Structure 1
């Protein structure tokens, strides 16, 4: 029997199933029955005929995107941005970058004292001046506006060097340009750029990004800071305060987000919407509190900033009035790739410390590096650093290639990098033992500095939800369009038949034919197959969850966290697969080593993904989630733990 005839009964069941949230229409049932009777005559010909008959009717086409991560939620592979591993630097850019790498590394090794900065709780003045001389305050500002004019990939490489030496300095520089004046780069008018960027690029003026408020952290849209238009219409009058602002006590130029009344032209109704402004300290009404006392990144100035009747010229609106949320999110998305690059440098520092100690320290007449427990620690540190580095430069390259939808990839890179770096630092301290705990070693400072990275620029909890919900919303739109197609099956038979076939194969436990082997080196075929299987299962799970919970999925955070972790692991697998394949194909000396890392990581990640996807729907897991929620609710209501003390008093 022709294979298409075998699959058709499954197609009918698949399209009739509750997966699409709608019962199969009689017309479509009749259509599929007709196809079954003639399946041996080639289904494709019949589909083409049916499509021709209704060619005047509009086809329903799902929204398309080149984002790999977005398509992942539909169980699809969009290879454009991930295979082969992107190479975006021209020879001229490579030469320029190399000319900057050595002086930057030398400066940090010879001029910057990270421990002293940490003790002083400020970057030393001569270090700041040296950074200005290097052009470090305007790395991505165009040359015609006084900057160095680096691409995202070039910037990432220099940030990596900074991250390997001093995260306090890194935050000072990053808060200035990665987010501080990034809004001017992305949304500024030519006049705004010409007015502000030259002095910001030279370091004459420092910048800060003012979004967080005492009562508004992750929920940026709930900001209370307000800007009202003056009676003469020439200024916005800004009032309010911003909390925990990096460079808050140093900055002359602030990107500030405040609520403004905006009139809807259609309804005439006025509502508060977030707007973005370029604010100069010299405008008046701008002040700041003392530097905050922090666990880490002490060299970075952090302060509360106050605005009292601060007049902002209307020309200083960034973007458009009411468009502040878009500005805020785009700035953060555009800055997150730099965090992954910086932290890959920090991880390298931790690995180097661990290697030096393990190769020299002798216990029980053996080098520490000969013990399996230490070998596993070092290997896993190396593995997650490789993943982080692969993600960072995959993302920066995609951005340099003109990608516009990379919010999921950016969030994934931030979450993975911040947690992997914490793991590396913790393991390095453990390997060094008491030595690692001492201040002079340097790791103690790194551990304190790293803790903030899971919190700022979007907490990892919020970013996990962003990853899951953004991806599931994209997949949900596709499913809704399929449901609409069911209302007019003759006009959309190609779309429906393809979807039904895919679904039927999944129901039957068959592979949908998804493969990555054509993109990777032959030595990594097994890893490619593991990744393809993970993508298939992930898409299937997302579809089932959307069908079961529909819009209420937003309230199922226990489940969303498992979905997000699976997406993170799959993206990580693809990044290392692509990079290791390139190394093997190019015959790099490190290719075998990279291949081994890739194989181990993909094997273990595939097991984690399988487990997490099962946890999204197993009865036992769902019961546990409810009980965990109950435990939390109980202690919150009691304002503390409930159990009786073991001693009874």
Structure 2
């Protein structure tokens, strides 16, 4: 069953072996060195210029990106034969996490190495890779990704940009405009999506110096002010036919795969920002005095710090668990094989559900941490002199980037159902088998001396809740389920919470098994609090869906089963959070 658990979405049907789950405690020395190199670069080269960057000094941003390229920080995902370092996903994730201390610079970096370069890495022809990747890896050329249009945001396939084959068959003449393009002010290479013959949605590599390429003025944004965000304007642009990326009419395959990895990397960036917010909040709470004592001595302030840390711990556990899954999948591939890139893209696509889960959870967890960080700072948190103000403004875009959280919530159950219908997951079989079991279900009684045994059992109960409610939803609505968006949202929230709970508990259990229970007390307590609080949210979302879907006796039966599945001994959350907060304050910031 552990093999099933390690498939995309399989965690809902089976539990993975603890040893199969990658955690931050598994970082190799090489991965730690890469993280340290990134931190040193940010602290030494970026932070001293953060005010200039925030004032949108794009020349400085370009200079810093080229310096990052000289250190190999643009080359993590580029294969060695094209000038890259071809690092594992965990290493590239660490680079993303550590760079966020650079504020808007991190977004410029992320757009270049992620959505800007990855389409060519994963879908480019051999000639395209040789022509573009060495320069992108070194920073000689910088990239941008152009999907959104004024009339098509979440509805990416509704793009109106056109590409018409020239009479001599040598070029596609491109017309249209793209909106909200990160790095547009200085990018040399643009990944642009357009429709050939009005309906063949296709990706192209467009260079800035092609005739007819221009950009509009910089957008005046709420946050991420130091990054460049402009419209890209395309007027009769001749794009060589050799610059078609991937297959004609298959641009959606590239777009959706790149969005998957973009969502995952966005979550890694949110993780780094949440840790930064905690550190700033702890520093301020220790220094600021009210009523004759430091803010850090007040229980409600300590509770806020504990809640910020708990969500960050869960986020960190989810992000690196997902990175480990992708690495494990890609490690089975032959890098020398001619179809390696295609198979690598498929390996990433396998975890599209987990990528969306990470994106939604992390963006909302960061918003929470940033908001509480401002609250701890009080009035000073509203002043630009204090960095928490910038984190608060910058964090808001993450719930919109890479597909809004609403779109991702709709995608999660839909992707799960699609995998089931394709025979990739035995979802229907497990659901049908469960229906009979639930009628006679008796909750397990866990002994208190078994660390996290109760929480592990609660996770299994949460999976049963999802299968019961999800099975009923599919049975009632079948292919019309996607129209019942409120119910789909409920299902997505349960799925997200299950992955979050399980990731935290598995990490804590792995640490306990390796170092003993005494060395994992903080992890175990953070996981335990999260499970108990998340379970209440799961019960609420499940009840909401049942009451909307069912009537009469069937409704009463499902509510009765839900009550049995939700019957667990409570946890002293106040006392536990006080202990967690004490450890945070003692360490000076986020700690596990």
Partner of 1:457: 402
Q: Label 1:503 to 1:154 Cα distance change in 2 as closer, same or farther (>3 A).
A: same
| Matching residue within 477, 498, 502 for 1:574 | 502
Structure 1 residues 583 and 191, CA gap change in structure 2 (3 angstroms):
same
Which residue of 546, 550, 558 corresponds with 2:486? 558
The answer to whether the aligner puts 1:615 opposite 2:552 as a matched pair is no
How big is the shift at 1:78?
5.4
Task: Evaluate the alpha carbon distance shift between residue 255 and residue 500 of structure 1 in structure 2; reply closer, same or farther with a 3 A threshold.
Answer: closer
| Pair 1:618–1:171, CA change in 2 (3 A) | same
Q: Where do residues 386-405 of structure 1 align in structure 2 (5 Å cutoff)?
A: 386-402=313-329, 403-404=347-348, 405=350
Q: Distance in 2 between matches of 1:411 and 1:479?
A: 18
For residue 167 of structure 1, report the CA deviation from its aligned partner: 3.0
Task: Note if 1:506 corresponds to 2:472.
Answer: no
What does 1:148-159 align with in structure 2 at a 5 Å threshold? 148-159=85-96
CA distance in 1, matches of 2:318, 2:379: 33
Partner of 1:309: 236
Q: Residue in 1 aligned with 2:195? A: 259
Mapped contact 2:21–2:507 kept (Cα < 8 A): yes
Change (3 A) 1:557 1:337: same
Q: 3-state DSSP class of the match of 1:198? A: helix
- Whole-angstrom distance in 1 between the partners of 2:161 and 2:452: 53
CA distance in 2, matches of 1:129, 1:619: 55
Deviation at 1:96, TM superposition (A): 3.5
**Separation in 1, partners of 2:295, 2:484:** 45
1:200-211 → structure 2 map (5 Å cutoff): 200-211=136-147
Aligned to 1:191: 127
Please tell me whether the aligned partners of residues 278 and 309 of structure 2 are also in contact (alpha carbons under 8 angstroms).
yes
Larger mean CA deviation between 442-451 and 144-153 belongs to 144-153
- Distance in 2, Cα, partners of 1:85 & 1:66: 10
In structure 2, how many angstroms separate the alpha carbons of the residues matched to 1:229 and 1:121? 39
Structure 1 residue ranges without an equivalent (≥5) = 1-63, 262-270, 484-494, 623-649
2:113 is matched with which residue? 177
Structure 2 stretches lacking a partner, 5+ long: 330-346, 552-592
Shift of 1:529: 0.5
In the alignment, is the contact (CA less than 8 A) between 2:214 and 2:233 conserved in 1?
yes
| CA distance in 2: counterparts of 1:500 and 1:388, whole angstroms | 32
| Farther off after superposition, 376-385 or 129-138 | 129-138
Query: 1:299 is paired with a residue of what secondary structure?
Result: coil
Map of 2:287 onto structure 1: 360
Match of 1:40 in 2: none
Q: Equivalent residues in 2 for 1:364-379 (5 A)? A: 364-379=291-306
1:70 equivalent in alignment to 2:9: yes
Query: After the TM superposition, which segments of 4 or more aligned residues of structure 1 sit over 4 Å from their partners?
Result: 64-69, 87-91, 475-483, 498-501, 619-622
Q: Which is worse superposed, 124-133 or 553-562?
A: 124-133
Equivalence map 1:583-602=2 (5 Å): 583-587=511-515, 591-602=520-531
Shift of 1:477: 6.4
Q: Which residue of 1 aligns with 2:533?
A: 604
Moved more, 243-252 or 356-365: 356-365
Q: Call closer, same or farther: CA 1:196–1:467 in 2, change over 3 Å.
A: same
Give the CA RMSD over aligned residues.
Answer: 2.8
CA distance in 1, matches of 2:549, 2:221: 42
Task: Provide the rounded CA distance (Å) in 1 between the counterparts of 2:223 and 2:231.
Answer: 17
Report if aligned partners of 2:144, 2:191 keep a CA contact under 8 Å in 1. yes
In structure 2, how many angstroms separate the alpha carbons of the residues matched to 1:303 and 1:535? Answer: 44
Q: Does the CA contact (< 8 Å) of 1:115 and 1:442 recur in 2?
A: no
Instruction: Give the distance between the partners of 1:333 and 1:309, measured in 2 at CA.
Output: 31
What is the total number of aligned residue pairs between the two structures?
525
In structure 1, the residue matched to 2:151 is 215
The 1:308/1:222 distance shift into structure 2, 3 A limit, reads same
Alignment of 1:329-478 (within 5 A): 329-402=256-329, 403-404=347-348, 405-475=350-420
CA distance in structure 2 between the aligned counterparts of 1:400 and 1:480, rounded to whole angstroms: 21
CA–CA separation in structure 2 for the residues paired with 1:396 and 1:479: 21
> Which of structures 1 and 2 has the bigger CA Rg?
1
User: C-alpha distance in 2, partners of 1:479/1:161?
Assistant: 35
Counterparts of 2:532 and 2:188, CA distance in 1: 51
Q: Is the 8 A contact 2:301 2:376 kept in 1?
A: yes
The structure-2 alpha-carbon separation of the partners of 1:543 and 1:474, relative to structure 1 and needing over 3 Å to count, comes to farther
- Alpha-carbon displacement from aligned partner over 1:78-110 (angstroms, at most 9, x marks no partner): 527x7632269999xx34333333332123223
Pairwise CA distance, 1:597:
0.3
Distance 2:433 2:45 in 1: 64
Give the whole-Å Cα distance in 2 for the aligned partners of 1:452 and 1:500.
Answer: 41
For normalisation by structure 1, the TM-score amounts to 0.76
1:549 is the counterpart of 2:483 = no
> Whole-Å Cα distance in 2 between the matches of residues 120 and 87 of structure 1?
37
Q: 2:577 aligns to what?
A: none
Which digits, 9 at most, give the CA deviation of each residue in 1:571-604, with x for residues without a partner? 1011111111111111177511000001110111
Highest RCO, 1 vs 2 (Cα 8 Å, sep ≥ 6): 1
